[in-house]
Amino acid sequence: MGVDLRQVVAGILTLAMFVMLGNMIKRDHFDSVEEKFPGGGGRDTLETSKYSKEGLVSFAKKNGGPWKDDGEELKQCWSKPSADDVEQTEGYVLFSLTNGPEYHVSQVADAVVVARYLGATLVLPDIRGTNPGDERNFDEIYDAEKFISSLDGVVRVVKERPSKLSTRNLAAVKVPNRVTEDYIVEHVEPIYRSKGNIRLATYFPSVNMKKTEGKSSSDSVACLGMFGTLELQQEISEVVESMVERLKTLSRKSDGQFVAVDLRVDILEKKGCQGGDETGTKSCYNAQEIALFLRKLGFAKDTTIYLTESKWDSSLDALKDIFPKTYIKDGIIPADKKSKYLDSKGSEFEKIIDFYVCAQSDVFVPAISGLFYANVAGKRIASSKTQILVPADIPDASASASKFITHYVSKKNHLAYSCYC
């Protein structure tokens, strides 16, 4: 009995359809996963981010690489709240910025939301690094006048803690990232009313930077706190701009475009980055894996790449072998600024530089999942720099870059899309 070719073709198409359906279900499952990440905060599994909706992002081959222009410019879609809507009280809310810029934006947003709800005065925070004794004044990194003026009419801000405010009448209060009004009413307001002043600390039960469907009266305040308050002070801003310009100069063959990769060897060596998790997905990619990922997407050998690693490690050679124009901060920072920003005892300056260079690069690749990735993505979305490629192991010799656009952009599910539209 002969084989009907039409039946064979129909069988193959049916099987392919089931495979595609299975992949869709698997992706939806990954997109919902939020897990704790070692070393603080949480993480969003990188594999959840690699698929885009058909046609939403289009890449064009440009001088040997899958570069694309910036996305459509978004506009601020929140309104500045009025102070008249809140009953003013006599107390103060104190807080510190800790663990790096990826935490700062969330810590500010939560502090502003809490102070606004309580009608309290916010004290300009200090900045504390991960190492003991690594403390800085706010204006050593950020523009204090910009911070205060941005909150004018929304929250009262003073530069220093009043002398009458002793540590004895300060109650320490922890709030979860993206604190809600219900949480403030139940857990914060009673302590504030009792003590009169509070010291606030934000904790991160998970990386949750996805926008929520519901609306609340604090949304505009949170958007303002996260996207409208923090600007670098002039000297650091100039250092970042000079490094970005240097990277663009080195990228003449790609029309001044460069790739920034968040890759830190010390985190890659932690237990949570070794292999996949129980779902078989990966949260971290090493230098060799990133090199293969970028090459298979079509980036040319002379592509300029910026790495967030502070000191060159031999494990990075695998990336430099394929992309010789790979640099860390030491190779592109102005020589007269190196001792101040790279050789200082604290690493806070280095984290700040990395965050803002990654936010301004033409393409951003998060080799490590976590809050750095999530909040760099938010800052990039706000400035329409949506070329964020999430790495994956590509079995074929080549692949389309559009398949690896972060879900934050492809599904427009980042919190930033609640603030910009």
The model's confidence at residue 135, banded by pLDDT at 50, 70 and 90, is confident
Mean pLDDT of 226-235: 96
Find, among 308, 394, 329, 384, the residue nearest to 74 by Cα.
Answer: 384
Both 194 and 308 in one domain: the answer is no
What was the pLDDT predicted at 166? 74
What was the pLDDT predicted at 163? 85
Of the listed ranges 148-157, 230-239, 270-279, 322-331, the least confidently predicted one is: 270-279
Top pLDDT among 99 and 281 is at 99
Both 223 and 269 in one domain: the answer is no
What was the pLDDT predicted at 344? 65
Both 316 and 356 in one domain: the answer is yes
Both 241 and 282 in one domain: the answer is yes
Mean pLDDT of 326-331: 94
CB atoms within 10 A of CB 137: 14
The 3-state secondary structure of the chain, one letter per residue: CCCCHHHHHHHHHHHHHHHHHHHHHHHHHHHCCCEECCCCCEECCHHHHCCCCCCCCCCCCCCCCCCCCCCCCCCECCCCCCHHHCCCCCCEEEEEEECCHHHHHHHHHHHHHHHHHHCCEEECCEEECCCCCCEECHHHCECHHHHHHHCCCCCCEECCCCCCCCHHHCEEEEEECCCCHHHHHHHHHHHHHHHCCEEEEEECCCCCCECCCCCCCCHHHHHHHHHCCCCECHHHHHHHHHHHHHHHHCCHHHCCCEEEEECCHHHHCCHHHCCCCCCCCCCECCHHHHHHHHHHCCCCCCCEEEECCCCCCHHHHHHHHHCCCEECHHHHCCHHHHHHHCCCCCCHHHHHHHHHHHHHCCEEEECECCHHHHHHHHHHHHCCCCCEECCCCCCCCCCCHHHHECHHHHCCCECHHHHEC
What was the pLDDT predicted at 310? 87
Of the residues 182, 208, 227, the one at which a domain ends = 227
Q: What is the count of structural domains for the chain? A: 2
Residue-range definition of the domain harbouring residue 157: 83-227
Is the distance from CB of 208 to CB of 375 less than 8 angstroms? no
Mean pLDDT of 242-256: 93
The model's confidence at residue 42, banded by pLDDT at 50, 70 and 90, is very low
**How far is residue 10 from each of residues 2, 7, 20, 23, measured CA to CA in Å?**
16, 5, 15, 20
The model's confidence at residue 79, banded by pLDDT at 50, 70 and 90, is confident
Mean pLDDT of 328-332: 94
Is the distance from CB of 300 to CB of 254 less than 8 angstroms? yes
Identify whether 19 is part of a domain.
no
Of the residues 227, 242, 274, the one at which a domain ends = 227
Identify whether 16 is part of a domain.
no
Highest mean pLDDT among 72-81, 218-227, 248-257, 290-299: 290-299
Identify whether 194 is part of a domain.
yes
Mean pLDDT of 258-263: 97
Highest mean pLDDT among 23-32, 75-84, 141-150, 154-163: 141-150
The model's confidence at residue 28, banded by pLDDT at 50, 70 and 90, is very low
Is the predicted pLDDT of residue 294 greater than 90, yes or no?
yes
What was the pLDDT predicted at 206? 81
Both 118 and 217 in one domain: the answer is yes
The pTM score is: 0.84
The model's confidence at residue 52, banded by pLDDT at 50, 70 and 90, is very low
Both 303 and 405 in one domain: the answer is yes
Both 252 and 384 in one domain: the answer is yes
Of the listed ranges 9-18, 92-101, 201-210, the least confidently predicted one is: 9-18
Identify whether 260 is part of a domain.
yes
Rounded Cα gap, residues 68 and 362, in angstroms: 8
pLDDT in tens, 367-409: 999 999 999 999 999 999 999 999 999 999 889 999 999 999 9
